[in-house]
Amino acid sequence: MLKKILGIAPKLEPDGSYSPSRVALKLATSDVTDFENIEYTKYQGKRSKILVIFTERKNMKMKNGKLFSTGNHPVEALLPMLHLRNAGFEFIIATPTGKPVVFEMWAFPNGDKHVQDIYNEHKSSFGRPLSLKTFIDSSLVDMASYAAVFVPGGHGAMLGIPEDQKVGKVLNWAHENSLYTITLCHGPGSLLTTTLKGQEFLYKGYNMAVFPDSVDKMTPKIGYLPGLMPWGLSEKLKSLGAKIVNSKSDNTVCLDRRLITGASPLASNDLGKLAAETLLKELK
């Protein structure tokens, strides 16, 4: 009751999950973003496609058994896509099984026209994405059309994706064919797929920006999460040999070889700029 009065009680959703509290939403979300509408010299070549792997899962079971209403963070997905679209790239939208993309709609910046526009532009694809099996069966031979693979963040990126062998196959394909891999916040959970079947971590020794476990441990205090995380992403990546370059959930971005990463939703704009500029420079 006291938490409700203070505004730090997570909100119970109709399906029994919890979304962030009133105070957490005020502190962690905004009606507009810091998107910079940059005019890039658009890419005109053959490698214009970017595969975007979204989560299709919504509810994360916390250590206390409560469910967190999650999915892909809309800002972390759509701001990088805005920059990449403005730089001349197009998107192939996919989820592991082809079920619809799930967004954390409680974090959607409804006052941001740029974000609204690109969301509406791809809304039909979000509702009917490719399955990764279909992509693997039809497109792995078409690597000459692709520039990158993008895995947006949101806690939902830690649901199913880190254990999905199809994701691992796509990331290994991207690495072997010199495509870029772009991800941020909790999206680097996808990188764990490269250890499946006893393989050494593909990104051992890489510098990367990732959402810190220390922040995830703090956010239940303001009702952002309804409990402690089931497992820690940044510590897991460190244990495999990744070098985490940030200690805060800030706007840090990092480019190491062909891996482009960002620390949090606050890095979404800078990640998009870095990705667009890097791909344009590489493919000129």
Distance CA 229, CA 216 (A): 7
Dihedral through CA 81, CA 83, CA 85, CA 88, nearest 10? -140
Is 254 noted as a catalytic residue in this protein?
A: no
> Within 13 A of 74's CA, how many CA atoms are on the CB side?
26
Q: From the candidates 185, 210, 259, 263, which is the catalytic residue?
A: 185
End-to-end C-alpha distance for the chain, whole angstroms:
59
AA letter at 188: P
> Which residues lie closer than 8 Å to 221 by C-beta, 6 or more apart?
8
Residue 237: which of 262, 213, 259, 271 has the closest Cα? Answer: 213
Contact between 100 and 128 under an 8 Å Cβ cutoff? The reply is yes
Distance CA 34, CA 138 (A): 37
Distance CA 117, CA 48 (A): 21
- Which residues are catalytically annotated? 185
